[in-house]
Amino acid sequence: MNKILVIILFSLVSLTWGTTWIAMKIATETIPPFFATGMRFLVASPILIILAYFTKTPLLFPYGQRWFQLIISIFYFSIPFTLMLYGGMYVSSSVASIIFSSMPVAVLTVSFLYLKKKLFLTQKIGMFISLITLLTVLLIELESQCFFQWKGILALLFALFSHAFIYSECQKKCLNVSVITFNALPSLLSGILLSTTSWFIESPHINTFSNRSILAIFYLGDFSGIFGILSYFYLQQKVSAFYASTVFLIFPVIAGFLENYIYKNAILLCEIWFIFPLIIGILLTLIPVNYLKKIRNKITRVSCLLF
């Protein structure tokens, strides 16, 4: 029964995260990115607050860390998610998903540079392979398409490392709050902030919004946003972080297939070949630290016996 639940959770996360990128592209067909992101959070936040009420989960962070809750609202929700939609207007869904499949590498890179976290050799090799491969894929994409794509790529990279930085800050502060607490109020604050900002910057006209763009917003807010995050959270409780993180290798495939099916934008053959070293690099960074420590200890014992 537990294995079936793990398979269901893994499938849910893969599908929701894989379809997120195509939903973002559909949403921004007729809705400006600031307003689309704001409405996405305003749609999701009431459900999260209701879940918090019925599960008796606090909405506020622990005393002394509530200012960090505001930072999360801006630098995890408001800015990065707006940049994701903005980037999706210039970059294909498959490329956007490939960029975000590097999230484990980005977190490790920020932890290494910012938190001075010690890395094993295999992790360093994986980080190097992944970053070089990702850079190569992006350069190929820029060369093969119109050069204005650099705006979207830059926006997506900034969103990626903004999320990675917040993850690292959470590790540094040993932040241990419920996934509902982490998402509920920041989503509401971000929704209000972005929707208000949009009226002054984008001047959205609701009568121009297509039905499928509106449906995409509800999908991003309620299904992809809430069920995707909750499913991943519960998946992490059922299996190790290594196995849970392998979902980052699956959802780009789903995103690429959907884009090819809906928009007839096939991913370049050379980019497909570069996905393999990217996967290898990501897997090397995801190898559990405890497993690496056991290997190191075994090597040390063998060395002592030999010398």
pLDDT at 303: 40
pLDDT at 271: 58
Q: What per-residue string of b and e applies to 73-86 under the rule 16 or more CB within 10 Å gives b?
A: bbebbbbbbbbbbb
Q: Which helix (H) or strand (E) holds 75?
A: none
pLDDT one-digit tens code per residue, 161-192: 999 999 888 888 877 888 899 999 999 999 99
Quick one: which of 7, 77, 5 has its CA closest to 246?
A: 7
Q: Please tell me whether the overall predicted TM-score, pTM, comes out greater than 0.75 for this model.
A: yes
pLDDT at 101: 86
pLDDT at 215: 95
What does the alpha-carbon distance between residue 100 and residue 252 come to, in Å, rounded to a whole number?
A: 8
Tokens of 154: 């830059």
Quick one: which of 129, 139, 87, 155 has its CA closest to 283?
A: 129
Q: Residue 61: which region, alpha, beta or left (left: phi > 0; alpha: psi -120 to 50)?
A: beta
What does the alpha-carbon distance between residue 225 and residue 260 come to, in Å, rounded to a whole number?
A: 23
Length of the chain: 307
pLDDT at 148: 58
Angle at 148 between CA 143 and CA 152, to 5 degrees: 100
pLDDT at 181: 93
Q: Which parts of the chain have pLDDT scores under 50?
A: 291-293, 295-307
What does the alpha-carbon distance between residue 151 and residue 158 come to, in Å, rounded to a whole number?
A: 11
Three-class secondary structure of residue 285 per DSSP? helix
| Interacting residues of 119 by C-beta distance below 8 A, sequence separation 6+ | 108, 112, 127
Are 94 and 252 within 8 A, CB to CB? yes
pLDDT at 157: 93
Name residue 96's amino acid: A
pLDDT at 302: 37
